[in-house]
Amino acid sequence: MAYRETEHTRAKKAHTRQRLLKAARDLVAEGGFAAATAAAVAQRSEVAAGSIYRHFPNKAELVAEVFRYATEHEVGMVYQATQTDSSCAERLLAGLTVFARRALEGPRLAYALIAEPVDPRVEQERLKYRLAYAEIFEDLIRDGMAAGEFAQQQPALTAAALVGMLAESLIGPLFLRRDKASALQPIDDPQQLISELNALCLRTVGATHH
Amino acid sequence: MAYRETEHTRAKKAHTRQRLLKAARDLVAEGGFAAATAAAVAQRSEVAAGSIYRHFPNKAELVAEVFRYATEHEVGMVYQATQTDSSCAERLLAGLTVFARRALEGPRLAYALIAEPVDPRVEQERLKYRLAYAEIFEDLIRDGMAAGEFAQQQPALTAAALVGMLAESLIGPLFLRRDKASALQPIDDPQQLISELNALCLRTVGATHH
């Protein structure tokens, strides 16, 4: 049944694809990747279940695309927050604060993107995602060292450390344990947590005059 | 075929179980959890393949036991290194150095324990594992604050941050990327990396006179 795609057919197809991606992203934000089944995505986007695989070769590819779609937005927000004329310390804190606020306001999506066990195909995307944050931090640390604002250090190492620090304390297993109470403080004051994290990151990069 | 276990039968069973666990741990250290299949464990331990499930109800339970077996040893080594009469900063660095050295010398096992995607049943064990490290750090941070050695901070938050920092920079995705070269430095000098990490952690806890 090969036939020539018309302009109209192509536009319609692109539109459906966007609807599928958006529906899948909303499902992930509500219930993690486990909730983004093909059937649920079809229902949510009001697309016939059988037609999903006309847009994505398979489930793994759909999930990988949703991952890219969601993470490009997240990384973009953090990057944008750091692109100001302020000091490197201020720029670092601005990026960190956007990351933390988004994670605290949308914990299910943040967990899905950073830590939820996923298909190996998606793990590859996640590696790029964590790396994208590390690169933003690495550039800032390099600038801060050059400006004499931060301690001398190996920027790539500190950048990886910052990503791990944020992931673990805001999203990862130890945050989840915090959520379930026990010995740790509940997060009844997100602003307080963000202030603590700011101080932690400034110490980590060795900010000299802040 | 119920029968009364004799003393001898029980001892033999316990011995076989130990052999299975040790063989599984060695396989994980060589090829990750993916390599610890029931067939491989049976072959390595010279136990008849069919008898493995007399010792462990299923594969997930075998893997979870191997995880506990391996991690108790790792956590014990780090804990022991911190139990000295030195300053809190020295004790923190001693624990950190043991963790880092073991991760750099046995990267496959370290990756398997900290980050390799595993069965949800094992994820529960991993949570306890990361938490065990966090608790060692949390106690040290509390002691260091009381002694005026470290900055005032929320010890549980910094402890989670340190675990994330070590995991990401020594074992996690960003470390793996480093391994594959590209823009980051190769780790041709583990001692240098450990020194950098020491400095990073001292800054993170706000060590005042070190």
pLDDT band with cut points at 50, 70 and 90 for residue A117:
confident
Alpha helices by DSSP H, listed for chain A, are 7-31, 38-45, 52-55, 59-82, 88-105, 107-114, 120-146, 155-166, 173-179, 190-204
Fold for B67-205, please state it: Tetracycline Repressor; domain 2 (1.10.357)
Report the top-level CATH class of A67-204. Answer: mainly alpha
Higher pLDDT, A172 or B51: B51
Which of helix, strand or coil describes residue A206? coil
Whole-number Å distance between alpha carbons of B82 and B60: 33
User: Is residue A20 within 8 Å of A52, Cβ to Cβ?
Assistant: yes
SS3 content of chain B, % helix, strand, coil (to 5): 75, 0, 25
User: Given this model, what pLDDT does residue B150 score?
Assistant: 97
Whole-number Å distance between alpha carbons of B210 and A158: 19
Q: Give the closest residue to B35 by CA, choosing from B119, B102, B112.
A: B112
Q: Is the pLDDT of residue B3 over 90?
A: no
Average pLDDT, chain A: 86
Which of A123, A160, A178 lies nearest to residue B117, judging by beta carbons?
A123
Arithmetic mean of pLDDT, B83-98? 97
Q: What b/e string do you get for B13-34 counting C-beta neighbours within 10 Å, with b at 16 or more? A: eeebbebbbebbbbbbbeebbe
Which of A176, A177, A196 lies nearest to residue B153, judging by beta carbons?
A196
Q: Give the closest residue to B32 by CA, choosing from B102, B115, B96.
A: B115
Instruction: Return the residue in A137, A157, A191 with the most chain B beta carbons within 10 A, the one to mutate for interface testing.
Output: A157
Q: What b/e string do you get for A175-184 counting C-beta neighbours within 10 Å, with b at 16 or more? A: bebbeeeeeb
Residue of chain A nearest B206, judged by CA positions = A203
User: Given this model, what pLDDT does residue A186 score?
Assistant: 47
Closest-CA distance of chain A to residue B10, Å = 38
Q: Do A134 and B174 touch (CB under 8 A)?
A: yes
Residues of B numbered 21-40 whose beta carbons fall under 8 angstroms of chain A's beta carbons: which are they?
none
Q: What is the pLDDT of residues B106-142, one digit of tens each?
A: 888 988 888 887 777 787 788 888 899 999 999 999 9
Phi, psi of B20 (to 5 degrees): -65, -45
User: Given this model, what pLDDT does residue A174 score?
Assistant: 65
User: Given this model, what pLDDT does residue A175 score?
Assistant: 67
Q: Give the closest residue to A133 by CA, choosing from A108, A159, A155.
A: A159
Instruction: Return the residue in B129, B174, B195 with the most chain A beta carbons within 10 A, the one to mutate for interface testing.
Output: B174
Judged by a CB distance cut-off of 8 A, whether residue B146 touches chain A is: no
Closest-CA distance of chain B to residue A176, Å = 9
Query: B62 to each of A83, A164, A200, B68, B206, how far by Cα in Å?
Result: 50, 29, 39, 10, 42
Whole-number Å distance between alpha carbons of A81 and A101: 12
ipTM (interface predicted TM): 0.83
Judged by a CB distance cut-off of 8 A, whether residue B117 touches chain A is: yes
Phi, psi of A172 (to 5 degrees): -70, -170
Fold for B1-56, please state it: Arc Repressor Mutant, subunit A (1.10.10)
Q: What is the pLDDT of residues A144-185, one digit of tens each?
A: 999 999 999 999 999 999 999 998 888 766 666 555 544 444
Sketch the domain layout of chain A as residue ranges.
Answer: 1-56, 67-204
Q: What is the pLDDT of residues A18-46, one digit of tens each?
A: 899 999 999 999 998 888 888 999 999 99
Whole-number Å distance between alpha carbons of B201 and A161: 10
User: Given this model, what pLDDT does residue B183 score?
Assistant: 42
Phi, psi of B101 (to 5 degrees): -65, -45
Arithmetic mean of pLDDT, B85-93? 97
pLDDT band with cut points at 50, 70 and 90 for residue B2:
low
Whole-number Å distance between alpha carbons of A14 and A2: 19
Structure tokens at B81: 């290194």
pLDDT band with cut points at 50, 70 and 90 for residue B177:
low
Average pLDDT, chain B: 86
Q: Do A203 and B200 touch (CB under 8 A)?
A: no
Residue of chain B nearest A120, judged by CA positions = B117
Percent of chain A at pLDDT exceeding 90: 47
- Tell me the chain A residues in contact with residue B162 when contact means C-beta distances shorter than 8 Å: 165
Q: Is the pLDDT of residue A114 over 80?
A: yes
User: Given this model, what pLDDT does residue A184 score?
Assistant: 44
User: Given this model, what pLDDT does residue B184 score?
Assistant: 44
Which of A134, A174, A185 lies nearest to residue B130, judging by beta carbons?
A174
Phi, psi of B94 (to 5 degrees): -65, -45
Percent of chain A at pLDDT exceeding 70: 89
Higher pLDDT, A141 or A12: A141
- Tell me the chain B residues in contact with residue A117 when contact means C-beta distances shorter than 8 Å: 117-118, 120, 123
Which of A164, A177, A197 lies nearest to residue B169, judging by beta carbons?
A164
User: Given this model, what pLDDT does residue B181 score?
Assistant: 44
Which residue in the block uniquely carries the two structure tokens 């070269």?
B181
Instruction: Return the residue in A119, A168, A179, A180 with the most chain B beta carbons within 10 A, the one to mutate for interface testing.
Output: A168
Closest-CA distance of chain B to residue A13, Å = 35
User: Given this model, what pLDDT does residue A185 score?
Assistant: 46
